[in-house]
Structure 1
Amino acid sequence: MAAEAHPPLAVVETAKRFFASFDRPARILVAVSGGSDSKGLLLALNEAIEATKPTQFFLAACTVDHALRPESADEARGVAAFCESLGVPHIITRWDGPKPSTGIQAAAREARYALLADAAQCFETSSIVTGHTLDDQRETILMRAQRGEGPGAAGMAEATLYDRRIWVLRPFLTLDRTAIRAFLTDRKVGWFDDPSNLNTRFERVRARTALASSLETGAGAWDARSRARSSAAAAALLERHVRVHAGLVAEIPSSMAGQCRDIDWQRALLALATVLGGRAHLPAAETVERLVNFLEQGTPGRLTAGRVVFDRRSTGLYLYREARGIEDLTVQAGQTGVWDDRFLIRNAGDGPLALTVEGGRGPQQQRLIAAGLPPGVAGRVSLSAPRIVSDDVKNVASATIEPRIGLYDTFLPSFDRIMADRIAGLFGRERYLPPPVHDLLTEMER
């Protein structure tokens, strides 16, 4: 009600609550495109700091020029002038190089976050804040529902860890865009409207149009607190019932194999399979139903879904990467590469390294058998296990290789942090960086 009655006041108060969620003074980078949401965010954060704790928070701003429209450079310079008027340090970064002919919005998003993270490093800020609103949240939930995403499909989190190194915070997710624009109008500040926001060939624009022309809110039954509780329950199930060997195969007791109608266990199993398959997203609902039906049958057999073999035997359920579609990788001296989207390799040697599959009857197979896996499972797993090849044995010895967690290593929503930490532990990885603000997990632990 407050947001409808007094939009300018609601916007600034939201900014004040955001700063109150920090445990300590912080340096923050604001992503400002020149649109109403991001300009309103920067202005509200600046006002909130001046009104409360001007010495405890430092604001900087970054505008990413995607170079997709002729006028984008002038718009970025306009944002720079706006930031200068506020006394906020500002940098413009440009997405250079060739642009893809398809999937342009997804590619632009990847480039934008990479450039923002680099800018944050330049300013030595601990987090990035973006102007995503309740309107964006509704659109996101609707899009994910229309895609038929699997169990636990959710909207945007108020905090998301990017690239394991910096948190992206969204303090305006509870505010309507109309309130932000009313705030800017009250302050006599204008904004740019990106014409791509009207292009219906983009999925988000179609979702926005659908929401505007119907009574559908797009919010559904989305509840971040419930999602966080589910993730914590899934983490506990993973800890009790799952063993991962060499980042290659998950071993699950027979008693748990058919329990996939339990939503928390289903999410745990699917997250595990997604990592083993080197995927960044959970399988779609249709694939999930096919998998659940197979597991509920209770008989030995194999099913492949999302590049992962679900191998059910009398001794248990085993998950591992199917042995096809795996390409070799060459990593030059001093470089880092990702093999099959499953393993990160660092070449600290003096010459190139090649990564290929072990192909069976190798040392990895013997190690898996020694760990207690059935020989048949160990043999199948070794067909997709990595093997480092070099003309110089010293280069092999100097290389390091570790599992990559594609599901979380690029974008980790805060409400999944407990489950992500548990999966990281299963794969021998370090826990993820905690957010700089009080989040749902902090509240739940109190």
Structure 2
Amino acid sequence: MAASIPAADTLARSAPLRAAQDFVLQLKPHCHVLVAVSGGGDSIGLLSALLAAKTISGRNDIQLTAATVDHGLRPEAADEALWVGAFCAERGIAHHTLVWADDKPQSGLMVAARHARYRLLSSLAGRCGADVIAVAHTMDDQAETFAMRASRGASTVLTGMADKTLIEGRHWIARPFLKIGRSAIRDFLTLNGLSWIDDPSNDDAHYERVRTRQSIQETVETLAADAEKAAQARDRLSRSAAHLFAGIATIHGATVAQLDIDGLLGAGDAARYLLNILVPALGGLSYGPGGDVLDRVTALCTAPHGARMTAGRCLFERHRGHLFILRERRGLPETEIAPGGSAVWDGRFCFENRSQAALRIRPAGPDGAGDADAFSGLPPRLAHLAAAVCPVAMDTAGKQVLPTGVYLAPFDRFLPGFDLTLANMMAAAFTHAAYREPAATYLR
């Protein structure tokens, strides 16, 4: 069934449709958009608005595909996915149901579900050739996210969600409704005679987001406006950190950062921002160490030559006018990869097993196995430590297998658009492939 197009006066006062039209007009010719649709009002509103905006804008070259993720957490989810499939079929939109079939964790379930959802969407985008994934996060979601992060305490700078995020280094997620209120989307749906599914978990106060939603009902617009200002500030700060990185940092063998202390101490918030990303990149973690550790690192920079500390799985050492940061030797894993499999070792290096036998990866240890040339510019003691924290992988024939690439843990799962400039500057220094620019992926 063809999408109904609201009358012109309805369009003029329909914020969701205007937002969808703005998004559609930015897309490159013949762009393929994968729309995440749970069946709730926000996602049904997004899909319906995009479908109408295509026609209104004369952009029938754009292809829409819908996907529903069944997390396997509620028995009703399968029926809801069927309902979305029927909704899409009536409108000539291809629909896929994606099931999270993995074992569910005992703690951190919502975080694990979010990661699984984006992983499934990214995988489908690759299979169906989608250029961008559109999700229906709203102004209300933005306000809730900003409030939750504020309650936890921000380690460097407080922001909400970015309007675009790169997932798994492959696909951009766009949020066309990030400045649209949830009530406006419901009004749009009601005006056009469209129904949606209400998820009872959205009212379950066991979840932090639900409790936050209930507590900020009177301040959503103010919080969303604060989040937008914070996003602009974060974008500026990240660009300053990128400029700082270019001026004071040298990366040795994708393992050691050498930072000029005078430049670091003179950079204020940009230095803290840079450290909060650089430390997890070297330590193989997704998130930075936070404010207390950054205070200790700053103090270390003014300590005598030879002073050192550990935090965030990293060793920090002052050596004359430089601060060196590298993975500490504790807790390095031993990993086995099955034939044909792949894995990320220690959150830092990618391996593929192209043989017919298991591939074992271990830390090099005291004897070292790193590239001597990569560490030749380091003080001898640090060069030895750097070699020791590199991986060694041997096949059954005793031949060493080299990593297939570097993994930048802060960016390779989720890269918010705020940090794209900094991420690509660090990627070049770590010999990591450049991250995809939105303009080269799905925008005109």
Q: TM-score, normalised by structure 2?
A: 0.91
8 A Cα contact 2:309 2:317, kept in partner: yes
- Equivalent in 257, 262, 284 of residue 255 of structure 1: 262
8 A Cα contact 1:7 1:183, kept in partner: no
In the alignment, which residue of structure 1 is the partner of 2:82?
Answer: 77
The answer to whether 1:194 aligns with 2:238 is: no
Matches within 5 A, 1:64-213: 64-212=69-217
Please state how far the C-alpha of 1:39 moved relative to its aligned partner. Answer: 0.5
The answer to whether 1:433 aligns with 2:436 is: yes
Q: What is the letter of the counterpart of residue 259 of structure 1? A: G
**Percent of aligned pairs sharing the same letter:** 36
Task: Count how many residue pairs are aligned between Structure 1 and Structure 2.
Answer: 433
Please state how far the C-alpha of 1:263 moved relative to its aligned partner. Answer: 1.2
Q: 1:379 to 1:108 in 2, by over 3 A?
A: same
- Equivalent in 416, 423, 427 of residue 424 of structure 1: 427
Matches within 5 A, 1:228-377: 228-259=235-266, 262-297=268-303, 300-364=306-370, 366-367=372-373, 369=375, 371-377=376-382
Q: What is the letter of the counterpart of residue 359 of structure 2? A: L
The answer to whether 1:412 aligns with 2:418 is: no
8 A Cα contact 1:15 1:45, kept in partner: yes
Counterpart CA distance in 2 for 1:58 and 1:290 is: 52
Q: 1:145 to 1:438 in 2, by over 3 A?
A: farther
8 A Cα contact 2:370 2:388, kept in partner: no
Counterpart CA distance in 2 for 1:216 and 1:173 is: 12
Counterpart CA distance in 1 for 2:64 and 2:360 is: 45
- Equivalent in 378, 384, 390 of residue 389 of structure 2: 384
Please state how far the C-alpha of 1:283 moved relative to its aligned partner. Answer: 2.0
Please state how far the C-alpha of 1:368 moved relative to its aligned partner. Answer: 5.1
Please state how far the C-alpha of 1:79 moved relative to its aligned partner. Answer: 1.1
Counterpart CA distance in 1 for 2:364 and 2:321 is: 25
In the alignment, which residue of structure 1 is the partner of 2:50?
Answer: 45
Q: Which moved more, 1:408-417 or 1:93-102?
A: 93-102
Counterpart CA distance in 2 for 1:318 and 1:210 is: 45
Q: Which moved more, 1:182-191 or 1:222-231?
A: 222-231
8 A Cα contact 2:140 2:220, kept in partner: no
| 1:320 alignment partner, SS class | strand
Per-residue Cα deviation, 1:21-78 (whole angstroms, up to 9, x for no partner): 2243301111000111000000100110111224221111111111211111111111
Counterpart CA distance in 1 for 2:413 and 2:250 is: 24
Counterpart CA distance in 1 for 2:221 and 2:356 is: 60
Q: What is the letter of the counterpart of residue 155 of structure 1? A: G
Counterpart CA distance in 2 for 1:135 and 1:306 is: 33
Matches within 5 A, 1:395-406: 396-397=400-401, 399-406=402-409
| 1:408 alignment partner, SS class | helix
8 A Cα contact 2:333 2:362, kept in partner: yes
Q: 1:40 to 1:326 in 2, by over 3 A?
A: same
Q: Which moved more, 1:14-23 or 1:95-104?
A: 95-104
Gaps of 5+ in 1: none
| 1:87 alignment partner, SS class | coil
Q: Which moved more, 1:12-21 or 1:145-154?
A: 145-154
Q: What is the letter of the counterpart of residue 308 of structure 2? A: R
Gaps of 5+ in 2: 1-9
Please state how far the C-alpha of 1:247 moved relative to its aligned partner. Answer: 1.0
CA RMSD, 1 decimal: 2.4
Counterpart CA distance in 2 for 1:298 and 1:156 is: 41
8 A Cα contact 1:30 1:129, kept in partner: yes
Per-residue Cα deviation, 1:76-119 (whole angstroms, up to 9, x for no partner): 11111111222211111222243222211111111111221222
Please state how far the C-alpha of 1:215 moved relative to its aligned partner. Answer: 8.1
Counterpart CA distance in 2 for 1:149 and 1:381 is: 31
Q: 1:43 to 1:104 in 2, by over 3 A?
A: same
Q: What is the letter of the counterpart of residue 407 of structure 1? A: P
Counterpart CA distance in 2 for 1:66 and 1:390 is: 38
